[in-house]
Structures are given as structure tokens and as C-alpha cells.
A = this chain, B = another copy of it.
């Protein structure tokens, strides 16, 4: 390569699978990556837990520091790649110190950006450096860039996503095989799709971090994780997949952000015709709805060294090329305070309800009367099989109604003598906007 304008000195904090992949790419494909950024990308320092592991690249000429925070003190480091993880602790200390020292920061840390993104973006702006986090949302899918640049001319009406590959794998498999959550989780752990401690994934926290960031960019406020309504996938019953499909839906953990409404990360039903409903297995997907575009969908790997590494390196190249965006796409002065946003429950929602009832005359009349009393109208209903005087499932979808009406109706339904178990309900997320 004769092309070399200048040099960008890079430090990596955290050499797990992603950090090691990024280091290897920076070394092995240095010419191509440097050419793309228009500067020589030079890995000059690293920090990790153990110095002695073989990570598939040579440490020759690369400075080692034991405490990652010290990377911010190395004068000739221009950019720190933070891959330690965790919303607090060393990752946050290092990011603050690096920005304050006038170094660019590229991070894959969704928890940190979801919790402290506003304060960190302010620090970046004050120090006139970049803070980028493409890898924090939906892994290899360039979702942040798409929202912040590719679709920047749009007024977003909704950003919805399948943002956790572990959950999507578990739900896809439950649907396909009829297995129960616990069994699929154990298998997912064996296959490496789920962590030994799975709660960050299956309780929706990880996905909600990503949704927090997408909502902030789409609607121009600082990230505010505390506002997100979160429910996970632990309580999904295997039987609901079949009823959902009969009614024309699939069950997915979907994050939905809409203007002026609390972002929700919930297990819900998606119409079979929806683009998001077609996304199976460990993939992630983001559907951007806006004016004038209509709807665009991106699908790709949400995790893994290659996907995350691709996103980290794209950010590094943007910084090197001098085209890194402001962290949330606009100056701090133009961002509203996420914690002060007036978020409501927004428009009504359609719901899926499954009741376990005694199969006897008059049951359907009782159920529909109670729904009617709460101003809830049934859109579609299926009863699986017949079993006189035994329990059967009654699955239905409603038209849009307030969540409070649904809650009241469910509690009245629970009180009926013919209703034998707690009613199950899930919101229905409408299809993407037509183009």
C-alpha cells in the first residue's frame, strides 16, 4: 500500500472472543482496513485479564497494561476500543477517562450506553472526540448507522426489533418442536447459544439495553433504560405457538419503540405476514418504520466474534475517515432528556388471550359477555378439540383496547367458575408499515 495519510493509534481493552477477533483483523487485514479508513490503523496497546493466553496474534510491538484504565493515560493512543462490558466499573471508568483525555472511544457495551449514554455523549462532545457503539445494537447489523445516517431523513413512527438471538433461538425452537422452555434452554446452553447464567438474555434485559439505544437515536433523546417496560420469555407455554399460528401469528420477543410511548420489550404475537415474523433462530432483526420511507428491515447475526468485530471495525474506520457521527446523531443541545420524557401507554393494543376452561354449554357466552362488559371485542377465536366436562383451551385475539381494560377483563374472567387456570395474555405487535 502506498496510500497512507496518517496513523490512528488504537488500544483495545478486553481480549475475549470479540477483542481477539478485532485485534487479529487489525493485524492480518491491516492494509485493506487502513485503506478504507484513509489512515494507517495501528494497534499499539491492549489490556485483558490474562496476559498469557494465545489469542492468535503476536504481541510484538504492542504495549500491555494490566489495568485497562491505564490505556487512557497512554499519550499516543488516539482511539480506545472498549470491549470489557458491564454498565459500571472498569468499562465506565476507562470510557470516561479516555474521552476526557481526548481519545475517541468505540464500544460494544450496550449496558453502559443504555445507562450512561447521555453523560458519555456529553463528555465526547465537550472533548470533541467520537463515541461510537454500532456493535452495541444488533451485533453485525449496521442498525445504528441505518437509523442515524441511512434513514436520517425520516420521521420514525416505530422502531421494532428482535434484539436477542438467544431468545429468538429458544422461541423458534419451541415453536418448531413443541418442547418446553426449560428443556430448550438447557440445550441452547449446551450449544453455546445461551449463557450458564441466562437471565440477562431470557429476561429481556440485554434486548432492552439495545432497544433503549435505538429509541434514543430514533426519537432524539438521551438513553433512559429505566423507562423501558420489560418482560422476558420464561413464561411462554409451548401450546401457545400452535394457537398463535392458527390465528395467523408467531410468538417472538420483540422490542418496540414509538414516539411518546414507553419502549416495550415483550413477548408478543406478530402477524405471519410481518417481515419480523419471518426471522428465525439466533438472528437479530430491526424494522424501521418512518415517513417518507415506509418500512425497511435489516436481518443479521446479533452476536459472535465476527459480527461484533465487523461492527467495531466499521466504527473504527468511520473515526479514521473523519466521518463519525455524533453519538446520538445530533448535538447534545438538540437531544431531549430521556428521563424527563412524557411517555404514555400510547394507543390501544390488540391482545392474544388463552383461557383454560371447562368444555360445557354456556362457557363461550360467559367469556364473551365479560369481554363485552370491558369494551373488548374479539377478533378471532379458536377452540382446540372437544372434551365435554374436561378442560380445553380457548384462544382468541382481540381488537385494540386499553391495557387497563384487558387487565380488568382478565381478572373478571379468572373469577368465573368455568375458568380453570390463570388466563394467558400477550400483546399483538402490528406489521410494519406498507411501503
Chain A residues near B (Cβ < 8 Å): 3, 21, 25, 29, 32-33, 35-36, 134, 140-142, 145-146, 149-155, 275, 278, 282-283, 290-301, 304-307, 309-310, 313-314, 316-318, 321-325, 329-331, 333-334, 435
A-B contact pairs, 14 of them (CB 8 A): A25-B292, A140-B293, A145-B150, A146-B150, A149-B149, A283-B435, A290-B310, A293-B301, A294-B304, A294-B307, A295-B301, A296-B299, A304-B435, A306-B435
Q: CA–CA, A319 to B116, complex, Å?
A: 30
In Å, the complex CA distance between A300 and B154 comes to 14
Taken together as a complex, chains A and B put the C-alpha atoms of A235 and B32 apart, in Å, by 42
Shortest distance from the beta carbon of A250 to any chain B beta carbon, whole Å? 13
Task: Give CA–CA (A32, B316) in the complex, Å.
Answer: 28
Interchain residue pairs A-B with the least CB separation, the first 7: A142-B150, A301-B435, A153-B313, A292-B306, A296-B300, A323-B323, A293-B310
- Taken together as a complex, chains A and B put the C-alpha atoms of A333 and B280 apart, in Å, by 42
Bound Cα distance from A321 to B152, whole angstroms: 12
| Given A152-B314, A323-B323; A330-B278 close (CB under 8 Å) | no
Q: Is the CB of B295 within 8 A of A300?
A: yes
User: How many angstroms between the C-alpha atoms of A322 and B324 in the bound complex?
Assistant: 10
Q: In the bound complex, do residue B301 and residue A298 qualify as a contact, i.e. CB atoms below 8 Å apart?
A: no
Total copies of the chain = 2
Cα(A325)–Cα(B150), bound, Å: 13
Known A-B contacts A25-B292, A296-B299, A330-B35; A149 and B145 likewise in contact (beta carbons under 8 Å): yes
- Asked if A292 and B317 sit within 8 Å, CB to CB, the answer is no
B307 touches A293 (CB 8 A): yes
Say which residue of B304, B307, B317 sits within 8 Å of A152 (CB atoms).
B317
Pairwise interchain contact B300-A297, C-beta atoms closer than 8 A? yes
Q: Which residues of B contact A314 (CB under 8 A)?
A: 149-153
Chain B residues with Cβ below 8 Å from A275 are 299
Contact B435 A140 (CB under 8 A): yes
Q: Which residues of B lie under 8 Å from residue A154 when comparing CB positions?
A: 310
Alpha-carbon gap, A107 to B221, bound state (A): 32
Q: Which chain B residue lies CB-closest to A285?
A: B297
Query: What residue in chain B is nearest A140 (Cβ atoms)?
Result: B293
Contacts A25-B292, A293-B310, A297-B300 known; 4 new A-B pairs at CB < 8 A: A145-B145, A149-B317, A149-B318, A291-B306
